[in-house]
Structure 1
Amino acid sequence: MDHLLLVFIEVVEKKNFSRAAEELHMTQPSVSQQIQILEKNLGTKLLNRTNKFVELTKAGEIVYSHAKEITGLYKRMSTLVDDLMHEANGLLKIGASYTFGEYVLPHILANLKLKFPNVIPSVQIGNTREIAQAVLTHHIDVGIVEGEYVHQNVFMETVATDELYIMAGVNHSLSKNKEVTIEQLERETWIVREEGSGTREATDRLFETLNISPTTLVEFGSTQLIKEAVEAGLGISYLSDLTVKKEKLLNTIFMLNVEGTPIKRNFSILTEPVQLQTKSMQVFIELIQDFYKKQK
C-alpha cells in the first residue's frame, strides 16, 4: 500500500506533524517531505498548515476520504488472503436485534464454540436500525435483524421466518374471549418497543393492516420488560412466538385470537458484499441456516 497515504492519514488524524511523526517513528522533516510528494503527485494542496495544527483543504477532504477507504480495503484484502490459508479463526464481531439476539443467538454461539473453537465471538445487541448502522460503519462483521433492510452497501439474505401474535396475560379480560374484535383492541393499552426496533416496525404494520388505532401506547426498550408488563396485566402487546416459549409453558401469557393474525416476518443477515466475507463469517452464517433447517 502507498506509504504516502498512510503518512497523510496520520497527519490528518493527529492534526499535527510532530505527533504524526512520533506515531509513525519518523522525523518531522521526513513526514513533511512525504506530504509534499503526495501534493506534488496530485497537483494540489491538501493541507493548510499553522504553527499549532493542520486542517484539510477541499481537495484534502476528498483524498482523506478515499485514502481511508483504500487502507480499509487493503486490510480486508490481507485478512481474506490469510483466511484462505487457515481454518476459521479469530475475532468475529456479531450484531443482533433483540429478538434474535436474546432468544436464538445463544444456541448458535454454543454450536459455534463446539465446532469452531478458534473463532472468538464478540456480540452487540441493539435494535434493527442500530445493527444495520454498525454493519455500514464496519463496527461489526455480520448482523442479524428482524424484517428487511435495504442499502446499496449492504448484502441482505433472508434466513428464517417468524410469527407474531397479539398477547395478553392469562388473567386479562380479553383472554376469556374466543375471538377479539378490533374495537376491543383499540380500547386496550398497547405496550410496544421503541422506534427503530424490528418488533416496533412489525407492530406499526399490524396497526395499519388491521386498521387499529390504539388510544394508549406505552413504549418500552426491552422485550423482557414488555413480557413482564403483559403478565402483570398492564396491557397487551404484539410479540414473536420465539420470545414467549417459556411463558406459554408456564401458562402466564395467552395468545389472543384475532382475525388476520398471526403475521409472519423475516429474519435477515446483513453483511458487506459476499466477496468480502471471511471464513469465520461464512461458517457462522451456515450455522444459522442449519439451525433453522432443523426447526422445520
Structure 2
Amino acid sequence: MALNFHQLHIFYTVADRGSFSAAAGALHMTQPAVTMQVQSLEDYFGTKLLQRSTKRIDLTEAGKALMPYARRSIELIRDTDQAMSTFTRQLKGKLQLGASLTIGEYILPRLLGPFGMEFPHITISMKVINTAQIMEDILNHQLNFGLIEAPVNHPDMHMEAVMSDELKLIVPKGHPLAGRTDVMLDEVADYPFVLREQGSGTRLVMEEQLKRKNIDPADLKIVMELGSTGAVKSAVEAGLGVSFLSASSVKHEVALGLLHIVPIHNVRFRRQFYSIYLKSAVLPISAVTFLTFLRERDLQQWL
C-alpha cells in the first residue's frame, strides 16, 4: 500500500475536529469510510495514530509527530493548485462563495464579468450576506470560502488579504463641501453623518482611522444608522448627512452628479478585503483559480 494525500487529509481532519463523526460531516463521507481510511494509514505506518475513547479522540505520540506533515501536505496541495491555476483555461465546475454586503453588491459584480470571460466554464453561485453568516456557512460546509471587509479571528479559519479598497467622504449635490478640492478632517466632523450600522466592515474601518487622528467616533453627529450601503447612499443624496463609503459603491451616483467625493487632507481610509476558508479544507480548483485571479490581476481597471 502506498501513502496517499487523501488519507493524510482525513487523518488531519479527524484530529482537528476531535471525532470521526465531525470529520465525516466536514469531508462529506460516511463515518465508517473515515474510520477505514485512518486504519489503513495506521496499517501503513505500523503504529496507532489516534487513541480512541468513548468521549474523545487523542493523538498518540506517533500521531502528534505526523500532524505537522499532514498539515504541510494540505498546504502544498493548495499551493500547487494555486500555481497551476494560472495555466488552466478549460476549467469546469461550480464556484460557491459568500461575500459581505459592499463586496457582493458593488465590487464582485464588476469582476465576475472579466473572470467569466477568462474562465467561461466555471459557473458562480454567490450569497451576499454578513460576515457572521459567511463564517457559519463555511463552518457548516455550505460555502467553499468567503470574501469579507474586515479581519476576523477564528481558530478554524484561514484568512488572507486578496484585494484593497478605500473609503471616501461623500456629500450630496449642493452641499457646502461639494466641489472642494481639499478639506480638513476636523471640519468634516462638524457635519451630520449617515453611517452604516455598528459592526459593519465599513464602519469599523472609518472608526479606526478617526481614532488614529484623535477624533472620538462617539463625538460625531450621527443622525442615522442604516443596514446597507444603498440605503446610506440614498440618505446622503436626500441631504440627510455625509458619509464614508467605498469609492466603488458610489461610482454611478458620482458620474450622474448626484453625489460628490471630497478629498480629505492627509487622511486615507484604506482597507483590505479578505478571503476566509477552513484551515482543514482543500479548496476546489475553481475557488483557487478565482482567488488567484483576485490576487494577480489589476482589478482597478474594472472598478
Taking structure 2 as the reference length, the TM-score comes to 0.65
Task: Name the residue aligned to 2:246.
Answer: 240
**Which of the numbers 108, 113, 116 marks the counterpart of 1:110?**
113
Pairwise CA distance, 1:181:
4.1
**Which of the numbers 122, 125, 131 marks the counterpart of 1:119?**
122
AA in 2 matched with 1:189: P
**Which of the numbers 283, 290, 294 marks the counterpart of 1:284?**
290
AA in 2 matched with 1:75: H
AA in 2 matched with 1:232: A
**Which of the numbers 25, 29, 40 marks the counterpart of 1:72?**
25
2:181 pairs with 1:228: no
Pairwise CA distance, 1:95:
0.5
C-alpha contact (below 8 Å) 1:127/1:198 kept by paired residues: no
AA in 1 matched with 2:286: S
Show CA shifts across 1:147-184 (max 9, x none): 32232211112112111112111311222555434454
2:154 pairs with 1:151: yes
**Which of the numbers 174, 180, 185 marks the counterpart of 2:183?**
180
Using a 3 Å threshold, how does the CA distance of structure 1 residues 183 and 294 change in structure 2: closer, same or farther? closer
Moved more, 198-207 or 69-78: 69-78
AA in 2 matched with 1:143: G
AA in 2 matched with 1:139: Q
Q: Secondary structure at the match of 1:229?
A: helix
Task: Name the residue aligned to 1:200.
Answer: 203
Alignment length (residue pairs): 229
Task: Name the residue aligned to 1:138.
Answer: 141
Q: Secondary structure at the match of 1:174?
A: coil
Using a 3 Å threshold, how does the CA distance of structure 1 residues 188 and 133 change in structure 2: closer, same or farther? farther
Using a 3 Å threshold, how does the CA distance of structure 1 residues 245 and 65 change in structure 2: closer, same or farther? same
Q: Secondary structure at the match of 2:178?
A: helix
C-alpha contact (below 8 Å) 1:178/1:257 kept by paired residues: yes
C-alpha contact (below 8 Å) 1:185/1:214 kept by paired residues: no
Task: Name the residue aligned to 1:33.
Answer: none
Task: Name the residue aligned to 2:45.
Answer: none
Pairwise CA distance, 1:262:
2.4
Alignment gaps of 5+ in structure 2: 1-16, 34-73, 82-89
- Which structure carries more helix by proportion? 1
C-alpha contact (below 8 Å) 1:160/1:292 kept by paired residues: no
Using a 3 Å threshold, how does the CA distance of structure 1 residues 184 and 247 change in structure 2: closer, same or farther? same
Which one has a bigger Cα radius of gyration?
1
Q: Secondary structure at the match of 2:19?
A: helix
C-alpha contact (below 8 Å) 1:154/1:271 kept by paired residues: yes
Moved more, 133-142 or 193-202: 133-142
Pairwise CA distance, 1:142:
1.3
C-alpha contact (below 8 Å) 1:108/1:287 kept by paired residues: no
Q: Secondary structure at the match of 2:252?
A: helix
Q: Secondary structure at the match of 1:173?
A: coil
Q: Secondary structure at the match of 1:277?
A: coil
AA in 1 matched with 2:147: I
Alignment gaps of 5+ in structure 1: 1-63
Pairwise CA distance, 1:127:
2.7
RMSD: 3.2
Task: Name the residue aligned to 1:261.
Answer: 267
C-alpha contact (below 8 Å) 1:167/1:253 kept by paired residues: yes
Q: Secondary structure at the match of 1:203?
A: helix
Moved more, 285-294 or 145-154: 285-294
Question: C-alpha separation between the residues in 1 aligned to 2:229 and 2:194?
Answer: 10
Show CA shifts across 1:60-102 (max 9, x none): xxxx982432212442799x99xx9xx7444332111122212
Question: C-alpha separation between the residues in 2 aligned to 1:136 and 1:74?
Answer: 12
C-alpha contact (below 8 Å) 1:192/1:203 kept by paired residues: no
Moved more, 274-283 or 219-228: 274-283
Using a 3 Å threshold, how does the CA distance of structure 1 residues 164 and 76 change in structure 2: closer, same or farther? farther
Pairwise CA distance, 1:291:
3.8
